[in-house]
Structure 1
Amino acid sequence: MSTRTGTPDATRTTGLAATRRQLWEALEARDEPAATAVVLGAHDAGIGAEDLLLDVIGPVQAGIGAAWAAGRVGVAQEHAATAIQERAVAALAHRTAHGSGPRPETGGAPRRVTVACVDGEWHALPARLLAEVLRGRGFLVDYLGAHVPTPHLIAHLHQTGTDVVALSASLPVRLPTAHAAVTAVQAIGLPVLVGGAAFGPDGRHARLLGADGWAPDARAAARLLAAGPPRPDADRAAAGGLPHLADQEYTLVTRARTQLVRQVLQGLGEAVPATASYTERQWERTAEDLAHIVDFLGASLYTDDAGLFTGFVTWTAGILRARGVPGDALAAALDLLADAQHDFPRARAHLAAGRRALVRVPAPPAPGPLS
């Protein structure tokens, strides 16, 4: 991968901003050739491949997510834009496959890293960006993509000479499966580096689950791996215990997911008069929203982190407001869920925290070209 860094900082910053705007416009038009031309043209103009991956494609992808969250693009348009971005990454990677990136300090031979998304995680672009950054820095990379079941990951590792595994998870609801993957990989003697929004902005959930290392972004991950395989700290053995799971609230709540969704749906019909005019499609979306709420409640119980749940609740409130959903519907849903959790004190405490957080719901983010 090319290591060109272009012109001085001010000109470079201006060039990155212009490239982000051009890429955004191409994605809005669903114009794959134009999007690829923007990326490759910027590379021709002297912007380094790593900068394009992390300072152009990555931020634009975040903008796509913000646009979806604000209700300004639909799911199909978001998926189309993401697919175009992935193909632009592939075009850049093909061009720079034989670049002269700096080699990591591994005694003369690049270290082999397996990069994968945990089971159930379909947001693969962050992991792909990491894989390409590592390749550009001289690592040998096995990129396995989205949704890699743990048994298949372990089978792959047995067949390869991997030195370290990098696991990605964007959604906190994947933390239980991430924990299983971390434990399984460590059981065969390999260290695990984790990253992604699921692990928290400070990596708190990575430490909780006993990962050997955590990185907030791809550049940090590359620097960490160049220094050698991540080493567990002295507290790792204790970190993976999760003694709070002994109360079985996580297991019981997740097993009752379908029943809870059905129960809350029935209650909403009485608690929120506006639902009387809901169409069948609106009820389907409401059921989907409730299932996500239960999933995030389960994740917060697994980690014993009520903040994980309140963060999701406030985010959901902004999404629902963008859709024009009555403001009292989410509060009513949380109340109904709390009523159904009378035997689960931790679940009730997390639901109460989410209910209190609704008064601090931020305005939906405004999408647009990123400068």
Structure 2
Amino acid sequence: MNQLARVAPFRERLWEAVVAGDEYAAVAAVQDALADGIGEEAVLLEVVAPVQETIGTDWAANRISVAREHAATAINERVVAALALRPRPDGVQRAARGRVTVGCVDGEWHSFPARLVAEVLRLRGWQVDYLGAQTPTPHLIAHLHHTDPQAVLLSSSLPTRLPAAHMAITACQAVGVPVLAGGRAFGANGRYARALGADGWAPDARGVGDVLAGGLPRPTPAAVRQAADDLPHLADQEYTLVIHSKGPLVKQTLTDLEDRFPAARSYTDVQRERTAEDVAHLVDFLACALYVDDAEVFTAFLAWTADILEARGVPARSLSAGLDLLARQLHDFPRALNILNEGVHALDARPSTPTADHETTA
């Protein structure tokens, strides 16, 4: 029997347990997988991790609610804790390979991938300082001064955290600690990790273990370099001006939407708040695309958002209105206009999906 066939029944049991909110059944599923001879690393990465990914996929497709998604994730986190705390056979060598720090970029709340990495590294003999979600960079650096790890593993799922990741990478390297980046925020094949000057990148927990086993050379401590040293295009100040103008951009876009769609004037307070959040996300991802000078950051977000909207019966064409209104305000920003135009083309190229016929905002 191949590995996929071996883990499939336990993966299904875990999925059913987390969706049902049954923590005890969830822990029993992974314990039975271990009893069946499936190794701890395989249980973490081939049973628990795919179930967590399905949780996110089903939320995006509107098959489970936000509350159920949060509850299922919390149970999965306790499953990982139960695995980490299980008794070990006598004689198992701990922390034989050295010490590493694992944490999420400041502002990054999606800590589950980092937790999986931390547990896999512990299984492979590393002493791991797991710092959890959104670690402020000054506190991360203070921790490094106290512990002097062999490497820092920075995790981020949201591309909008890339500027914060860049700051953390340069700060860690300035005190002589190499940085290994991971997570979806860093793009396909880690291209943004390289652009931001990280010492390495890995696509998953096993990849992290392999990179560390090969060794990461320590950078020579030096003065913190400026962002434009890695990303010369930032000299045009478009990123800085857009991110600092976020409030006015969102406010004016909301006003213009009411002029374009009079029905928006009768929105409830909740609808107005959600609309403002949506426009703010557009600005955040536009700013991130400006930071790394890559429109794909923005167009990928638009495609994801369009799928989310249509799964909830909202026409994705409403996003185009938001892009048009932002473009009118940013007419003197050539790179921003190019990214917004790429976004419009990406939306136009999507296959048409029938949705409820009611307007919304971005």
**Length-normalised TM-score, structure 1:** 0.88
Contact 2:99 2:128 survives alignment (8 Å): yes
The aligned residue for residue 23 of structure 1 is 14
The amino acid that maps onto 2:24 is P
The gaps in structure 2 that reach 5 residues or longer are 220-224, 354-362
Q: Give the counterpart of 2:133 among 129, 134, 146.
A: 146
The aligned residue for residue 296 of structure 1 is 285
2-structure distance, mates of 1:272, 1:19: 50
Contact 2:317 2:347 survives alignment (8 Å): no
Q: Give the counterpart of 1:331 among 317, 320, 326.
A: 320
- Identify which range, 321-330 or 78-87, moves more after superposition: 321-330
Aligned length: 348
Contact 1:120 1:148 survives alignment (8 Å): yes
CA-to-aligned-CA distance 1:106-139 (integer Å, 9 cap, x gap): xxx4221100101001100000000000000111
Contact 2:310 2:316 survives alignment (8 Å): yes
SS at match of 1:148: coil
The aligned residue for residue 34 of structure 1 is 25
CA-to-aligned-CA distance 1:125-174 (integer Å, 9 cap, x gap): 00000000000011111111111000000001111131111110110000
2-structure distance, mates of 1:171, 1:19: 30
Cα distance 1:171–1:238, how it changes in 2: closer, same or farther (>3 A)? closer
Contact 1:101 1:138 survives alignment (8 Å): no
Q: Give the counterpart of 2:116 among 99, 106, 129.
A: 129
The aligned residue for residue 78 of structure 2 is 87
Aligned residues: CA RMSD: 2.3
CA drift of 1:33 comes to: 1.2
1-structure distance, mates of 2:86, 2:293: 46
2-structure distance, mates of 1:238, 1:265: 32
2-structure distance, mates of 1:302, 1:201: 17
2-structure distance, mates of 1:307, 1:48: 38
The aligned residue for residue 55 of structure 2 is 64
CA drift of 1:362 comes to: 6.7
Cα distance 1:359–1:190, how it changes in 2: closer, same or farther (>3 A)? same
The aligned residue for residue 342 of structure 2 is 353
CA-to-aligned-CA distance 1:75-116 (integer Å, 9 cap, x gap): 221111111111100000111656877999xxxx42211001
- Identify which range, 313-322 or 66-75, moves more after superposition: 66-75
- Identify which range, 314-323 or 86-95, moves more after superposition: 314-323
Q: What does residue range 273-284 of structure 1 map to in structure 2 within 5 Å?
A: 275=264, 278-284=267-273
The amino acid that maps onto 1:210 is G
The aligned residue for residue 5 of structure 2 is 14
The aligned residue for residue 309 of structure 1 is 298
- Identify which range, 317-326 or 172-181, moves more after superposition: 317-326
SS at match of 1:216: coil
CA-to-aligned-CA distance 1:19-42 (integer Å, 9 cap, x gap): 111111111111111111111121
SS at match of 1:202: helix
2-structure distance, mates of 1:46, 1:202: 33
SS at match of 1:266: helix
CA-to-aligned-CA distance 1:338-360 (integer Å, 9 cap, x gap): 11101111011001001110034
Q: What does residue range 149-168 of structure 1 map to in structure 2 within 5 Å?
A: 149-168=136-155
CA-to-aligned-CA distance 1:180-216 (integer Å, 9 cap, x gap): 0000000001111000000002111000000000001
Contact 2:176 2:218 survives alignment (8 Å): no
CA drift of 1:271 comes to: 2.5
Cα distance 1:240–1:40, how it changes in 2: closer, same or farther (>3 A)? farther
The amino acid that maps onto 1:85 is N
SS at match of 2:154: strand
Cα distance 1:99–1:240, how it changes in 2: closer, same or farther (>3 A)? farther
The aligned residue for residue 207 of structure 1 is 194
Contact 1:199 1:206 survives alignment (8 Å): yes
The gaps in structure 1 that reach 5 residues or longer are 1-9, 365-371
SS at match of 2:314: coil
SS at match of 2:85: helix
Contact 1:16 1:55 survives alignment (8 Å): yes
The amino acid that maps onto 2:21 is R
Contact 2:105 2:135 survives alignment (8 Å): yes
Contact 1:191 1:230 survives alignment (8 Å): yes
CA drift of 1:60 comes to: 1.1
Contact 1:167 1:195 survives alignment (8 Å): yes
The aligned residue for residue 47 of structure 1 is 38
CA drift of 1:276 comes to: 5.2
Contact 2:108 2:156 survives alignment (8 Å): yes
2-structure distance, mates of 1:99, 1:255: 57
Q: Give the counterpart of 2:164 among 177, 180, 195.
A: 177
The aligned residue for residue 178 of structure 2 is 191
- Identify which range, 114-123 or 73-82, moves more after superposition: 73-82
2-structure distance, mates of 1:70, 1:278: 25
CA drift of 1:11 comes to: 4.5
SS at match of 2:52: helix
Q: Give the counterpart of 2:216 among 222, 225, 229.
A: 229
The aligned residue for residue 269 of structure 1 is 258
1-structure distance, mates of 2:101, 2:316: 45
**Length-normalised TM-score, structure 2:** 0.90
- Identify which range, 350-359 or 32-41, moves more after superposition: 32-41
Contact 2:101 2:128 survives alignment (8 Å): yes
